Structure 1
Amino acid sequence: MHGSTVPDLRSKNSQNSLSSGGAKRMTVSSVLVVGGGITGCVAAIALAQRGTEVVLVERSPQWFGVGHGITVQGNALKVFRDIGVLDPILEKGRGFDQVRMRLADGTDLANIDVARTGGADLPATMGALRSDIQNVLVAKIRELGVEVRLATELVGFETVDDRVRAELSDGRTEFYDVVVAADGIKSATRRQLGMPEDKQPSGMGIWRAVVGRTPEMSVSGLYYGGPAYKVGFTPISDELCYAYVLTEPERPDNGLSDAAEMRRLLDGYGGDVPHIRDQITEDTFLNFQPIEWLLVKGSWHRGRVIAIGDAVHACPPLIAQGAAQCAEDALLLADHLTREGDMEKLLTEFEERRRPRVELVVQASLQLVEWEVSPTPDADPGGVMERSLKALAEPA
């Protein structure tokens, strides 16, 4: 055990709301959220808006948006609207409704109207800088007065009756009604919960860059059949796009700089790709990483500690549903945690409602990866994306 102070963060009113058997509660009054990415931020915001006292711990010593571009679908935008952050996010991003599919030489294959998974009144898809979305969420958390502790991790926990004793890396030991682990695909909490699953390689890697775009690059573009598995881009503003190359999972040791390597991978493509390639210089900030995935088949919780988001279901980004599924998890969990009822039942009902949806996304994404790595004559990536998004247009 760390530390000697053991504060009870529940309010007096919430302690008095317990039923005679201690099994029911009007709402949880205190929640520890572990992880400050999209999942953790949405969970913290939604819980705070429902009157719950929230502490958010983030292992990074600095808390500001990082990363390259991101594509988010309408169901993510719906969550952002529900927690009151949609307008500033739309102001920073670029909404659109189509995906343009082409052969590597630029020949058109199909233009697909993207299903409006968030409803008819929201863009079907939006491109943005991941940092811009993160910064909007952080600002909302600050506005709500959520306590945030940086450079802090959850190192141990135990459910004791109707509370969780949480041991933190800053030496504190505190009690919460529930702990929500939103600490990503590398989640330490997942392992502590005893889940046997771990992140798995997909067989692909991804290069990312943010570059200028032409006015014609106003919707997502996908290029098939070239030297790489796939090249694509998503507009993220009136001037910029997020460009990427899906390739082998390991960065070759070929003596090339990152910029030269990405330009090499873009050789042999037509259409809009030469415009992207020409803008990549030695000063362009580039990122390469292998693409991994995860799907926890069993329970996501033990006692009053539950893992959500990428900690239990992380998908390759081929249908751009990662952020959306994480945000849906967080909002729905906040709703369940603030209902009256037995906590074990509430957490189980939450998982049962979410599991079919996230499994659909992970399996569809893995099917697309398989077709990218091993093309087959009957491959139908456009159809899989279209059918998956139409299914996700149903309420979460």
Structure 2
Amino acid sequence: MSRGSILIVGGGIGGLSTAIAVQKKGYDATVVELNSDVHSSVYGVGIIQPMNALRALDMIGVAQDCIAAGYPAKRWGGLYATDGTFIKEMPGTPVPGLDLPPMNGLTRPKLHEILTSHAVEAGVTIRYSTTFAQLDDDGDGVDISFTDGTTGRFDIVVGADGVYSKTRGYVVEGEVRPYYIGQSAYRVNIPLLPEIDSIILQAGPEGMAGLVPIGEDLAYLFYNAHMEAQPTPESGDDTAQKLRDYLAPFDGFMGRIRDEFIDDGCEIVLRPEESLIVEAPWHKGRIVLLGDSVHAITPHLGQGAAQAIEDGVVLADCLAEHDDLAVAFREYTDRRFERCKLIVDTSLDIAEWEMGRKPGFDNIAATDHVLEVMAQPL
């Protein structure tokens, strides 16, 4: 017998993970995704899966498929100076009792394929090319008008519709929007070289460059560039040259990557880095929020997707433990808020340090602290 029906708005990483988690707890989950198919909602090139993300994925039966399709590293990474001189090893923090790698790198399309496959196998209904037009929570359920002209009624609505969430307006009063932090991230796939066996970070004079293995023969390069104005989608053929200019001060391994692989023909993704933390409560009536809709996290710790996955796992646990939705939602927020706020705040601290506005800040110590906290129970 079903525990109830749940509509999940958004078919991204957080939405699909939540759908799997609640379906396995006995709910009937439906996901609506405005984009047209499994790949159209995928932005970026690759993704870092830290140990805590793998633990959460393991709790919904997905971790091993991600590891098999990705690059399970034996350490978190290492830090290098601009000239390529080695500075410090970053081993990562293990989760007690779990035999999982400190970090797994994976392509975003592959992760979406895995999550979608597991969701469908679990019995989740996924509807593409549609979202809600209107929500009406009458206290006993939520009536939905969909953009494709259909209607429905659900016991619970979960807003997993991203940093510019439409669902958020039904929960949070006033105008709540993310803000641009002054950095934007370049990302581009490159061949996997033997030296890229974990995250390689190389600090530059104006930003951080990094390399992440994401498969048997694939890695990606990222660079957090200081840009006062938020970039718009670029036209023309100068994106690669701009990235090469940013990487010009680098010697060592990053300089080699720049010279050999960053050319006018490579496909570069440039996205602004935005931040947001919504104060509690994250719910109102029968509607609850998760992921980027309440905590948009810049990429400096590789924790954005991890926190969305954790949200879904914890929300499913709380719903299964409490018949009273208000109690379940409060416990969910209580378990998640400080953990997510630590990630948001520390990521911003690292960004400020990279942009030269936080002298003396120890980014490695801050990263190690976050990894230690993330290893603690959910």
Question: TM-score, structure 2 length as denominator?
Answer: 0.93
Aligned partner of 1:169 among 139, 147, 151:
147
Q: Are 1:276 and 2:276 counterparts?
A: no
Alignment partners' CA distance in 2, 1:327 and 1:160: 29
SS at match of 2:279: coil
On the 8 A contact 2:202/2:210 being kept in 1, the answer is: yes
SS at match of 1:352: helix
The reply on whether 1:208 has 2:176 as its aligned counterpart is no
Report the Cα distance in structure 2 between the residues aligned to 1:109 and 1:120, rounded to whole angstroms: 29
| 1:81 equivalent in alignment to 2:58 | yes
Matched residue, 2:103:
125
Q: Supply the AA of the counterpart residue of 1:222.
A: L
1:1-396 correspondence to structure 2 within 5 Å? 27=3, 29-64=4-39, 65-96=42-73, 97-117=75-95, 120-196=98-174, 197-226=176-205, 228-249=206-227, 250-251=230-231, 257-277=238-258, 278-396=260-378
Instruction: Give the 3 Å change call, closer, same or farther, for CA 340–208 of structure 1 in structure 2.
Output: same
Show CA shifts across 1:212-246 (max 9, x none): 132112111111133x4111111112322111111
SS in 2 for 1:218: coil
- Residue type of the partner of 1:297? E
> How big is the shift at 1:118?
7.5
Task: Extract unaligned runs of 5+ from structure 2.
Answer: none
Contact 1:44 1:146 in 2 (8 A): yes
Classify 1:118/1:293 alpha carbon distance in 2 versus 1 (closer, same or farther; 3 Å). Answer: farther
Change beyond 3 A, Cα 1:148–1:377: closer
Distance 1:233 1:309 in 2: 25
Task: Work out the CA distance in 1 between the residues paired with 2:97 and 2:83.
Answer: 35
User: C-alpha separation between the residues in 2 aligned to 1:375 and 1:193?
Assistant: 35
Q: Does structure 1 conserve the Cα–Cα contact (< 8 Å) formed by 2:6 and 2:156?
A: yes
Structure 1 letter corresponding to 2:199: S
* Structure-2 separation of matches of 1:301 and 1:98: 35
Q: Partner amino acid for 1:173?
A: T
Relative distance call for 1:312 and 1:251 in structure 2 (3 A) is closer
Per-residue deviation, residues 9-41 of structure 1 (Å, max 9, x unmatched): xxxx66xxxxxxxxxxxx4x1000100011000
1:263-295 deviation digits (Å, cap 9, x = unpaired): 222212122113321112333111101100110
Secondary structure of the equivalent of 2:110?
helix
Give the AA of the match of 1:391.
V
Per-residue deviation, residues 56-96 of structure 1 (Å, max 9, x unmatched): 10000122255301111111111111111222211111122
TM-score, length-scaled by structure 1: 0.89
Letter in 1 for 2:202: Y
Matched letter for residue 84 of structure 2? G
Q: Which amino acid aligns with 2:31?
A: L
Structure 1 portions without partners, runs of 5+? 1-12, 15-26
Per-residue CA shift, 1:151-209, capped at 9, x if unaligned? 11122212213211122111222111100010011111112323442111111011100
Distance in 1 separating the partners of 2:276 and 2:117: 30
Q: 1:317 to 1:335 in 2, by over 3 A?
A: same
Equivalent position amino acid for 2:299 in 1: P
Contact 2:139–2:286 (CA under 8 A) maintained in structure 1: no
Q: Assess if the C-alpha contact under 8 Å between 1:181 and 1:305 holds in 2.
A: yes
